């Protein structure tokens, strides 16, 4: 048997019944947060700050900050956002290019993982991926973090050897991140600054200089990895 409030499992009905009498969910009438027990709600009400913003009451500053980040406000326009990060190279439809993606799909496909130090978001991209798509992704990440954080980015890409006719995938590592130091994000203006820096870098040229030798040319940028860390250096 499973408690519908806290989802705890019970083998004996007698224990389930005793638990059910105590485990009754309660909701704060102001912030609408649910609590497993009335005692938890009482502690919440005792410690709340009663912050009023635009006619809405928030029980603590963390809830207010999270709310403010979800409000969609006009974002400062940045030129050239609609341009693709990488123009078509002509290799995207080649058999070797596609086979290289299949061989490394586990490193390329969309994923989201959290370690002790980083939150890592990986996004598979194509030649149609624009700087605006990247900006929207960064804004989405911002809306889900109630505190300032640091961010760095890296690209996974495929190179083509014009002499040996071979393709090679370069995965994202600490050695090929865009910035030497993670960039601090505290507000939307910081995201605009970050986007301007990314555009000024010219991603294709940046990664072109990382190729092993002049025999290798850029085949395509195929995945984007974003590393996020709290200012205290730990996640969770």
- Residues 58 and 121 occupy one common structural domain: no
Q: How far apart are CA 126 and CA 124, in angstroms?
A: 7
What average pLDDT does the segment 63-73 reach? 60
- Residues 217 and 103 occupy one common structural domain: yes
Let me know: does 183 contact 190? Beta carbons within 8 Å. Answer: yes
Flag whether 43 is in a domain.
Answer: yes
Flag whether 87 is in a domain.
Answer: no
Q: Is 192 in a helix, a strand, or coil?
A: helix
- Residues 111 and 209 occupy one common structural domain: yes
Q: Which two tokens stand for residue 108?
A: 């390329």
Let me know: does 60 contact 51? Beta carbons within 8 Å. Answer: yes
What average pLDDT does the segment 130-141 reach? 94
Least confident of 35-49, 180-194, 210-224: 35-49
pLDDT at 67: 63
- Residues 17 and 116 occupy one common structural domain: no
Q: How far apart are CA 48 and CA 45, in angstroms?
A: 5
Flag whether 88 is in a domain.
Answer: no
- Residues 41 and 116 occupy one common structural domain: no
Flag whether 28 is in a domain.
Answer: yes
Flag whether 123 is in a domain.
Answer: yes
Least confident of 10-14, 36-40, 190-194: 36-40
**Residue 72 clears pLDDT 70, i.e. is over it:** no
The number of domains in the chain is 2
Q: How far apart are CA 206 and CA 178, in angstroms?
A: 8
Q: What is the pTM of this model?
A: 0.64
List phi, psi (to 5°) of 173. Answer: -140, 175
- 């019944």: which residue's tokens? 17
Flag whether 81 is in a domain.
Answer: no
pLDDT at 236: 41
- Residues 143 and 214 occupy one common structural domain: yes
- Residues 101 and 196 occupy one common structural domain: yes
Distance (Å) of CA 59 to CA 42, 49, 62, 63, 148:
13, 5, 9, 7, 20
Q: Which two tokens stand for residue 18?
A: 């005793």
pLDDT at 206: 62
- Residues 41 and 135 occupy one common structural domain: no
Task: Give the structural domain span for 169.
Answer: 95-230
Flag whether 83 is in a domain.
Answer: no
pLDDT category of residue 183 using cuts at 50, 70 and 90: very high
**Residue 18 clears pLDDT 70, i.e. is over it:** yes
- Residues 225 and 159 occupy one common structural domain: yes
């Amino acid at each position: 048997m499973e408690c519908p409030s806290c989802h705890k499992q019970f083998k004996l009905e007698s224990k389930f019944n005793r638990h059910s009498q105590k485990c009754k969910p309660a909701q704060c009438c102001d912030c609408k947060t649910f609590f497993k027990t009335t005692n938890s709600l009482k502690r919440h009400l005792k410690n709340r700050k009663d912050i009023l913003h635009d006619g809405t009451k928030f029980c603590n500053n963390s809830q207010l900050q999270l709310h403010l980040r979800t409000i969609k406000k006009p974002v400062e326009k940045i030129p050239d956002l609609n341009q693709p990060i990488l123009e078509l190279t002509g290799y995207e439809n080649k058999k070797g290019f596609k086979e290289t993606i299949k061989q490394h799909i586990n490193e390329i496909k969309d994923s989201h993982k959290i370690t002790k130090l980083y939150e890592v978001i990986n996004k598979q991209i194509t030649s149609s991926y624009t700087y605006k798509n990247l900006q929207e992704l960064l804004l989405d990440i911002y809306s889900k973090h109630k505190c300032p954080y640091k961010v760095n980015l890296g690209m996974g890409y495929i190179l083509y050897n014009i002499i040996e006719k071979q393709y090679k995938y370069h995965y994202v590592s600490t050695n090929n991140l865009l910035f030497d130091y993670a960039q601090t994000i505290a507000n939307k203006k910081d995201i605009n600054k970050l986007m301007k820096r990314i555009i000024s870098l010219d991603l294709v040229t940046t990664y072109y200089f990382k190729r092993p030798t002049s025999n290798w040319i850029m085949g395509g940028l195929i995945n984007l990895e974003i590393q996020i860390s709290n200012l205290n250096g730990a996640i969770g």
